[in-house]
Structure 1
Amino acid sequence: MPTETATARTEQRESLGSRAQVLLGQNGALVALVLLSVVMAVLSPVFFSTQNLLNVGVQAAVVAILAFGQTFVIVSAGIDLSVGSVAALASIVTAYTATTTGLNPLLAIVVGLLTGVIAGFISGALVAYGRLPAFIATLAMLSIARGLALVLSDGVPIAQPSAVAWLGSTIGGWLPVPVLVMMVLGGLAAFILNRTFAGRAMYAIGGNEEAARLSGINVRHQQLVIYSLSGAFAAVAGLVLAGRLASGQPQAAAGYELDAIAAVVIGGASLAGGSGRAFGTFVGALVLAVIRNGLNLLNVSSFWQQVVIGAVIALAVLSDTLRRRRA
């Protein structure tokens, strides 16, 4: 009897340890965010002020919106390097059609959003039907979209209509519109991943593409949907960024694709595909924003900030690798 009791206790401890590991693995980014916030609050008394927290939300908004779209791609074992350039192209197209052609501003916004969808659709077609690796297909789109943005704008910023400028404003004098847009699109991304056939297909394709195909999923069709969604989210991010800058800038969002990928990985998604959550991506984007905001408050050089962000990305990818090895 004592031996059986000791064995039962050992099994119970092992079970609790396994559950704790799973819980930490699923919410490691949230734990990191809390610890980072506590450290920053100790080092800078103004960190937890309402204005600064809203600033963190605004800083995170564009990257988070890009990352929500990137989550769809990474969950399906792909990658989209073009989201920063597509965001810039969508903002330029919106500004160009509203100011140069005289199109109604709301219709210009629709055209800008469609631009993102089309760019994503082309990337998806190159992956699904052209059989190009996602890295190459989206790298090509990165160059194409950035080049088109420069051609349309002649390399100079274009003024945005007031409807786009509103996206960079505040509601009631305190609630930033970018934060509101981020929350809405985060909810939409979570709904797509958890409640739609397309979301279930993303996980299935990322887990095992051949098994997904044999189970009746039209993998090529779903890849078109996945990359089109990524393009659409990138276009929204571009308009939000244009609203903050009050203009469409052809070089806007340069390098943001790397931050978006980092946010997804920090949030717990696997680069091998098959796992990832919208909430984790949101937390990952906040982690990056808190680091940058905190380092700014501490007057740390922007050069050293790049070093810190790079180290965080490396640790996140290393953590993902170790998780997959244990699995």
Structure 2
Amino acid sequence: MSSAVQAESGEIREAKKTNSLLSIFKYREMNILTVLIIIGIFISLFSPYFLTMNNIMGVTRSVSITAIMAIGMTMVIITGGIDLSVGSVMGLASLMTALSFQHGYPTVVAIAVGLIVGVVSGLINGLLITKVNLPPFIATLGTLSIGRGLIYIITEGFPITPDVPAAYSFIGQGYLGFVPLPVVAMLILMVVFTVIMSRTRYGRHVYAIGGNEIAAKLSGVKTDRTKILVYVLSGTISAVAGIILFARLSSAEPASGFGAELDVIAASAIGGASLSGGYGSIVGAIIGAALIGVISNGIVLLNINTYAQQAITGLVILIAVSIDMWRSKRKG
């Protein structure tokens, strides 16, 4: 009898282990990570260069800029908004940092100027959305066009390539051990904002607004202040990406950041952020950006027509959003 009881309890323990293992894959981040691993294995079967250290570090370096901006975008999407201006803010911050160096300002001042561009841009977006009551799509589309126009007015279509200190170039070109510094910056920001979104009152307020803004307001959440800060953070993070990009290239290009908002939104959506608001994670956005980067790298390594990249990325977005909508309907 005791042996039967022991066998039954053993089966129960195994069932619990299985259920706990399966519960991990209920998280969208794990689903996307599984897809990323499968695609990586598939590419490595046909290209011996994919898993080389040089290629992996190159992919992570190129992904880091999109991933950094996706951190801010994900917070905006969680509130039920959108920020189309991230690409132009990145380009404008990069340009203003370059102009600061060109006029002889020290590194600290040049970086501060770039960050101010991001703060001001985000503040304008937040005020237009909360005080003027413009839809986020319209407000940020307007600031996107303004930012892009300012870039072309200032540069007149020519790149700005000032002399920069070696210490500043190290930010974009250096390594910490064998890891590129832009990747280190991405990981630090990922940890910081993951903690903010999961462990602080502000993070809970952001999720509450995306879930039901009216209910959040009635429960005492200062919705306008929270949303303004979300857009300020998005603009500032985009400026950080622009500063890192300029440090990497040592040149501020007029087209810098052009169309970047599409990749950033794609990274957030693929990473599990619900475009209707209320759900998403910083880690998911990073994984989404990595998936886009791996697909792009795989297209090059497998000698596939590079024009197919946009089509494949679009297909992945449609699949990710369709799964999200299916899950929402199922929960309902």
Same fold (TM over 0.5): yes
1:47 aligns with 2:50: yes
Structure 1 equivalent of residue 210 of structure 2 = 206
Of the structure 1 ranges 26-35 and 156-165, higher mean CA displacement relative to structure 2 is found in 156-165
- What residue number does 2:111 align with? 109
* Aligned-partner residue type, residue 250 of structure 1: P
> 2:269·2:275 contact (CA, 8 Å) conserved in 1?
yes
1:315 to 303, 315, 319: 319
Indicate the residue corresponding to 1:23 in structure 2.
Answer: 26
Q: Please give the TM-score of this superposition, normalised by the length of structure 1.
A: 0.91
> Is there any run of 5+ residues in structure 2 with no aligned partner, and where?
1-7
Question: Residues 314 and 113 (structure 1 numbering): CA distance in 2 closer, same or farther, change over 3 Å?
Answer: same
Match of 1:66 in 2: 69
Report Cα offsets for 1:141-189 as digits up to 9, x if no partner. 1011111122222321112523542222122674211111111111122
Q: Could you say which residue in structure 1 is the equivalent of 2:95?
A: 92
* Alpha carbons 1:74, 1:270 under 8 Å: kept: yes
> Partner of 1:23: helix, strand, or coil?
coil
The Cα of 1:16 is off from its aligned counterpart by 4.5
* Over 4 Å off, 4+ runs: 15-22
**Compared with structure 1, are the counterparts of its residues 61 and 270 closer, same or farther at alpha carbon in structure 2 (3 Å cutoff)?**
same
Q: Distance in 2 between matches of 1:19 and 1:291?
A: 27
TM-superposed deviation, 1:247: 0.8
* Pick aligned residue for 2:225 from 221, 228, 246: 221
Q: Distance in 1 between matches of 2:258 and 2:170?
A: 23
Matched with 2:160 is 158
Q: 1:176 aligns with which of 173, 180, 187?
A: 180
| Percent identity between the two aligned chains | 41
Secondary structure class of the residue paired with 1:317: helix
CA apart distance, 1:254: 0.9
**1:148 aligned partner:** 150
Pick which of 208-217 and 296-305 moved more. 296-305
Letter of the structure 2 residue corresponding to residue 141 of structure 1: T
Query: CA separation in 1, counterparts of 2:32 and 2:168?
Result: 32
Normalising by structure 2, report the TM-score. 0.90
Give the match for residue 300 of structure 1.
304
| CA contact 1:93–1:149 (8 Å) conserved in 2 | no
For 2:312, the aligned partner's letter is: V
Q: Please, which runs of 5 or more residues in structure 1 have no aligned partner?
A: none
Distance 2:56 2:24 in 1: 30
Mapped partners of 1:289, 1:73: distance in 2: 22
